[in-house]
A and B are shown apart, each in its own frame.
Chain A
Amino acid sequence: MSALVIVLIVCAIAAAGFVLGRARALASAGGDIRGLHSLPSYYGLNVALAALLPALLLLALWSIAQPLLVERSVAAMLPDGVDSALVMSDVRRVADGLALAVAQGALSPQEVAALDADATDLRATLGDVGVALGSAVTPEILDAARTHRAMSATGDLWRAIVVIAAALAGTAVGWSVTNSALRARNLVERVALALLAFAASVAILTTLGIVLSLIFNTLEFFRLYPASEFFLGTTWSPSFGGGSELGILPLLWGTLYISFIALLVAVPIGLFAAIYLSEYASPGVRGIVKPLLEMLAGIPTIVYGLFALLTVGPLLVELFGNGGPLGLGWMDGGTAVMTAGLVMGIMLIPFVSSLSDDIINAVPQALRDGSLGLGATRSETVRQVILPAALPGIVGAVLLAASRAIGETMIVVLGAGAAARLSMNPFDAMTTVTAKIVSQLTGDADFSSPEALVAFALGMTLFVITLVLNVFALWIVRTYREQYD
């Protein structure tokens, strides 16, 4: 019985429990709801929750534990000395394939029991039901898969029985304690509060998921490839045949170079735009210009990527490439640090300008009045009073923008090129950490090879860098805000 069916059955039991509980509460008060502690539906909900929560919790735990237990006992059957992770994934696929074949009627359970890996072409049979296998099935794997399937089937049956029994038991307990004096609302609200708190902790679970998935795979990578060479290597040349050099330095250099150019574009433009909008512009102009600039922030990054690849890149080549009007010959192809940096800068303009705008507006009007009242011009007021006062906040905003630039993916994937190199020329194609995460994980790579696992180490590096920047920037901005609150 599949998990979905079990959930539906449990829900049906809970619905029945709701009706029963509500009725029992009303009956215990002699049909007069004034005799009840809580509204009747709270008694119903109480019973329904007693049915749902233990059953669903049990289902979740069972569903996590069962595959682990099954695989452990199957792994014990396999001969020693084989790459167990690889073989296990084969076993799992064959087992799934067999289950699917039986479900679709391509094989009968008896046929499965009688299957012989040497005689039958299992690969073709399973291919017909939609399970593609990488290599032919050996007798050991077939045996293991059969055991796997049998154990899983038994486990699934027991899971259904136990979970449904738990739901029924919960209903019974909930129903039996129902009487007019039961504080049903308090019980229900306590559960509701727990659910709300659980929802709030999803954020923590997400972070935990990110950290764990990065750490485990990164450690796995460092088992296959020395960490010192990863962090200090100056060559990036993965080859899926083996013998890859996976040094992060060229990627970090590309990332930082592109981010630097992006900030060089975004910070002056964004900051001056924010100053003009908050200190000079009339409300009418502000009301038009601000949303227009913020439109730049609402445009998806894929659009910027395409803009870099197809518009800005060719334009820059025309200007700076061979035979351009400037006759410089600096640029060979459209994808370059300059292309990606420029377009990323455009993307960050509204980010810098709206953050700076908030921060400049948080500077108290009294300081402006004080400066103007002494006979300072507006620009003197901005430069000598407002900007120094807003400086911490603006630094925070720039750091947030930098973190955004470092983590940006689509613009660099499309606009920066694929060559990992350590070069000073901004018109060279270079690549970044994010672009390489994409390219290492979207090929047909085997996920246990260092060439694929390196993406997790890259992701870990990226996560740590941006996290440090964010925490620091948010801390600065918050301290700054508190200063004027």
Chain B
Amino acid sequence: MDDLRRTEALLSQQQTKISARNVQVWYGDTHAIKDVSVEIADKTTTAFIGPSGCGKSTFLRCINRMNDTIPAARIEGDIEIDGEDIYDRRVDPVRLRAKVGMVFQKPNPFPKSIYDNVAYGPRIHGLARGRAELDAIVEKALRRAALWNEVKDRLTAPGTGLSGGQQQRLCIARAVATEPEVLLMDEPCSALDPIATAQVEELIDELRQNYSVVIVTHSMQQAARVSQKTAFFHLGHLVEFGDTATIFTNPEDSRTESYISGRIG
């Protein structure tokens, strides 16, 4: 199984999707991200691991400029997606976020129907030219999130009425409905039970075939299960970045080893 994954990773590794160089982030006076450079490949799942407060979520939120919504945050350095600087003045964060979708730690379905939740993105971005097209997009997104069979008879029911795992898959469907190229996931399973977690993890592996998936997780087992590449963050530094197998079996940095063996974090 591991060999198979590694081959797959190598196959798709050629193409770099996101490339970050010397990224620094401050929240007010706090230096949250210190000089991070990383290249994230297309059609790969990349996991960010590290102890809490190490900056992995902060860095994730830089990739779709969600940090812009926090007044005190200040960002330096370059992040490019497909060779285009996303912090360029000409870039509209609204369009960037359509291209770089995001799934959050806690399932956050809107207090609307399941259908309207999924249709929200396509509607605001004008992706459908009619009701039929929108229906098709919603169905496709729900199928891709492995939720269609469970909800197809109650699309008008409120999204908040679903179970936790279903809610999170609804949020994933909502994110993929806008046809993003990158999917950012911020601890997507931390609020879920083991069964729901397994479902979402399986889903992530499916999604990797179409998207570049970046997942922040505090569970090393999860990182090992779903990712091909792993980045270890510690106190705002990117300590080590490489193939998941290498990081977990043969880390170069002693801090990585301490974290993986449970001595810190």
Contact = CB atoms under 8 A, between A and B. Distances in A.
Q: Do A and B share a direct contact in the complex (Cβ within 8 angstroms)?
A: yes
Interface stretch (A4-12, A202-210, A331-339, A382-390): A382-390
A375 interface: yes
Interface stretch (B31-39, B95-103, B199-207, B215-223): B95-103
Contact of A374 (B106, B111, B112, B178): B178
Interface residues of B, number: 27
A128 interface: no
Interface in A246-303: 282-283
B124 A380 contact: yes
B174 interface: yes
Given A283-B71, A389-B111, A374 B124 contact: yes
A366 B106 contact: yes
B94 A366 contact: no
A373 B121 CA distance: 10
B69 A372 contact: yes
Contacts of A370: 104, 108-110, 171, 174
A377 B110 CA distance: 16
Interface residues of A, number: 20
Given A367-B108, A370-B110, A370-B171, A377 B66 contact: no
Contact of A373 (B71, B101, B109, B111): B101
Contacts of A376: 94, 120-121, 124
B73 to A, nearest CB: 13
Given A282-B71, A385-B110, A373 B104 contact: yes
Interface in A330-371: 364, 366-371
B47 interface: no
A388 B71 CA distance: 25
Nearest to B64: A373
Interface in B64-104: 64, 66, 69, 71, 94-99, 101-102, 104
Contacts of A375: 94-99, 121, 124-125, 178
A373 to B, nearest CB: 4
A30 B246 CA distance: 85
Nearest to A283: B71
A366 B167 CA distance: 13
A371 B110 contact: yes
B175 interface: yes
B69 A371 contact: no
Which has the most chain A C-beta neighbours within 10 Å: B64, B71, B108, B112? B108
A196 B96 CA distance: 61
Interface string B168-186: 0001001100100000000
Contacts of A389: 110-111
A369 B70 CA distance: 11
Contacts of A283: 71
19 contacts: A366-B104, A367-B111, A369-B102, A370-B109, A370-B110, A373-B64, A373-B66, A373-B97, A374-B97, A374-B98, A374-B102, A374-B174, A375-B97, A376-B120, A376-B124, A377-B94, A384-B124, A385-B120, A388-B111
Closest 3 CB pairs of A and B: A375-B98, A375-B97, A373-B102
Given A367-B111, A375-B95, 19 more contacts: A282-B71, A364-B108, A369-B102, A369-B108, A371-B110, A372-B66, A372-B69, A373-B64, A373-B97, A373-B102, A373-B175, A374-B98, A375-B96, A375-B99, A375-B178, A376-B120, A376-B121, A380-B124, A385-B120
